[in-house]
């Protein structure tokens, strides 16, 4: 493992997933797959923003909740200092 790579960047235990190769589906151990954490965090931030969620907490913003007719939920979350 590279010294630049975080220990959790590689799956440590067998991780069986469906895989499509050569026109066939099968289950494979994909435990050596790598995860680029910086790219994942960038994707997550973009996705949360697109959905109307706070990128740091993953909680829907007041505006999003109100658009969904959940103003009372927004009030409760605000009172609990969650949004």
Q: What is the DSSP string of 31-60?
A: TT-B--HHHHHHHHHHHHHHHTB-TTT-PB
Closest CA to 82 of 64, 65, 59: 59
Distance CA 4, CA 12 (A): 17
Distance CA 29, CA 14 (A): 6
DSSP H/E element including 77: helix 71-79
pTM: 0.60
Read off the pLDDT of residues 30-78 as tens digits, 9 standing for 90 and up.
Answer: 777 677 888 889 999 999 999 999 999 999 999 999 999 999 999 999 9
13 or 74: whose pLDDT is higher? Answer: 74
């Amino acid at each position: 493992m590279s010294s630049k790579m975080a220990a959790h960047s590689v799956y440590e235990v067998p991780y069986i997933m469906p895989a499509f190769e050569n026109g066939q589906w099968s289950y494979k151990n994909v435990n050596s797959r790598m995860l680029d954490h910086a790219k994942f965090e960038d994707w997550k931030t973009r996705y949360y923003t697109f959905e109307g969620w706070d990128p740091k907490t993953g909680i829907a913003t007041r505006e999003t909740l109100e658009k969904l007719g959940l103003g009372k939920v927004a009030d409760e979350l605000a009172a609990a200092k969650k949004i």
